[in-house]
Amino acid sequence: MRPLMVLRGLEQRPTWPALRALDAALQGRDPEPVEAAYVGVVRALLTEQRADLASALAGALLGVDNPLVREPDPPAGLLEAARADLEGIADALRRNWWAEARAQGAASVPHLRALARPPERDPWEDAVAAFAEALAVEPTDALLGRLLARYREHGAGAAARYVALRWHDGSLVGIPHPAVADATTLVGVDDRLARLFANTEALLAGAPAHNVLLYGPRGSGKSTAVRSLLPRYGERGLRLVELSGDALQTLPEVVERLRALPQRFVLYVDDLSFEHDDRRYHPLKTLLEGSLTARPANVVLYATSNRRHLLRERLSERPQPGEDDDVHAWDTHNERLALADRFGLTLTFPSASQRRYLDIVEALAAREGIAAPDLSERAVRFADWGNGYSGRTARQFIDAVAQERAAGRT
């Protein structure tokens, strides 16, 4: 089997390396290694939950990043190398590995078909199945054209498959079961939601979009508002990328990784805040203000915070004349405090008074079909005994009432 030059992402998945090991064993004319190598291919397919070689290789071609994805107009040399890779992949699929292995004495191996139950159908699996069929019958030029068209429209890697992702150790990792939210569960913040949705729609339309700071006390609905974007805009190409505070130093790398992809990305930092001597705010400041490297039009940052200025501020940390060796200490201090002002859009989520808390309880109870004469009194007691008045507490109270109903106690 010829080595891959451009489509080497196949080597990140189990099946292609296992095939190469089987090919090497077959060339050695040794029955025992052949059988062991064949079993390795079977195990690789089962690991990838694929029913056959074609679907396993098609899934890797569509799902793993490679140089073609990052080149909107690939040069001729790159295309020629990709064409050669596709010919090698097609050759591997045309081989009857089962017959070759049996001919070398591996008599008890199963056929490499229908080894695993095919996964449930969804748009991603439909695309994989279509490309798997094409691998078996289409000429190389047609396969290359199909692959390039797929990359232009959907990219490759985790962003091509998942609407929710996480940046982890320098890579985008898909979240198969994201914790999506329903914006209709938020009460009394319709104007904030409208502005958040309008900004997100501008991003999807390719128009200038703001970085957004969602500020407010805990439980006021900030995170729910951001997570509600997924069911609303995921099918239109929006991707939500969760970024931990510790990963802020890698912001430039994240942004450059997303620049060439066709989707629109919201970098999501939850509970953003900085300590007095925290240096992580420098990459964030660069993203918000810009630098000589232009911010890509398909990336914005949405951050939630309980602090209006994002910085924990103590009286003892304020500049002390004659004691601070920073001759422009107040300028430095104010620069940190002004970080929040660099967001183009700030949405303030209000604290929940008892009246607003009960309004939220009433709205959520109506949605769940819950009615009780003493509901308000019970809701107040629940808040007093628990986490205080907030939208989150209202949700927890309604969930508790629903549990009691399910158990037959109300």
27-55 pLDDT tens trace? 987 777 998 999 999 999 988 888 789 99
Structure confidence at residue 162 as a pLDDT band (50, 70, 90):
very high
Sequence-separated (6 or more) residues with CB below 8 Å from residue 262 = 152, 153, 154, 155, 237, 298
Phi then psi for residue 150, to 5 deg, are -65, -45
Q: Compute the distance between CA of residue 334 and CA of residue 139 in angstroms, rounded to an integer.
A: 64
**Residue 166 to residues 32, 159, 178, 239, 391: CA-CA distances in angstroms?**
43, 10, 10, 10, 26
Task: Please tell me the least confidently modeled range out of 241-250, 271-280, 357-366, 387-396.
Answer: 271-280
pLDDT at 394 over 80: yes
Per-residue pLDDT, 114 = 52
pLDDT at 324 over 60: no
What is the average pLDDT value for the chain, to the nearest integer?
83
Query: What DSSP string runs through 283-305?
Result: HHHHHHH--SSPPPTTEEEEEEE
Is residue 167 classed as helix, strand or coil in its secondary structure? strand
Structure confidence at residue 315 as a pLDDT band (50, 70, 90):
very low
Structure confidence at residue 84 as a pLDDT band (50, 70, 90):
very high
In this structure, are strands 171-174 and 212-215 parallel, antiparallel, or unpaired?
unpaired
Question: What is the per-residue burial (b if ≥16 Cβ within 10 Å, else e) of 235-271?
Answer: eebbbbbbbebebbebbeebbebbbebebbbbbbbbe
pLDDT at 17 over 90: yes
**Residue 228 to residues 79, 192, 216: CA-CA distances in angstroms?**
40, 13, 17
Of 225, 199, 212, the closest CA to residue 346 belongs to 212
Phi then psi for residue 63, to 5 deg, are -110, 0
Task: Please tell me the least confidently modeled range out of 16-25, 278-287, 295-304.
Answer: 278-287
**Residue 393 to residues 61, 137, 348, 362, 386: CA-CA distances in angstroms?**
46, 58, 19, 13, 8
Structure confidence at residue 327 as a pLDDT band (50, 70, 90):
very low
Contact of 94 with 139, CB cutoff 8 Å: no
Per-residue pLDDT, 239 = 96
Q: Compute the distance between CA of residue 37 and CA of residue 101 in angstroms, rounded to an integer.
A: 9
pLDDT at 5 over 50: yes
Half-sphere exposure of 299 (CA within 13 A, CB side): 20
Q: What is the DSSP letter of 46?
A: H
Per-residue pLDDT, 266 = 96
Structure confidence at residue 409 as a pLDDT band (50, 70, 90):
low
Query: What DSSP string runs through 368-403?
Result: HT---TTHHHHHHHHHHHTT-SSHHHHHHHHHHHHH
Q: Compute the distance between CA of residue 161 and CA of residue 164 in angstroms, rounded to an integer.
A: 9
Is the model more confident about 342 or about 90? Answer: 90
Structure confidence at residue 234 as a pLDDT band (50, 70, 90):
very high
Residue 40 in tokens: 């390795």
Q: What is the DSSP letter of 139?
A: -
pLDDT at 97 over 80: yes
Task: Please tell me the least confidently modeled range out of 27-31, 32-36, 250-254, 303-307.
Answer: 27-31
Sheet holding 212-215, edge to edge: 171-174, 164-168, 238-242, 264-269, 299-305, 212-215, 345-348
Q: Residue 215 burial (CB < 10 Å; 0-12/13-18/19+)? A: buried
Phi then psi for residue 201, to 5 deg, are -65, -35
Per-residue pLDDT, 277 = 60
pLDDT at 408 over 90: no
367-385 pLDDT tens trace? 888 887 888 888 888 888 8
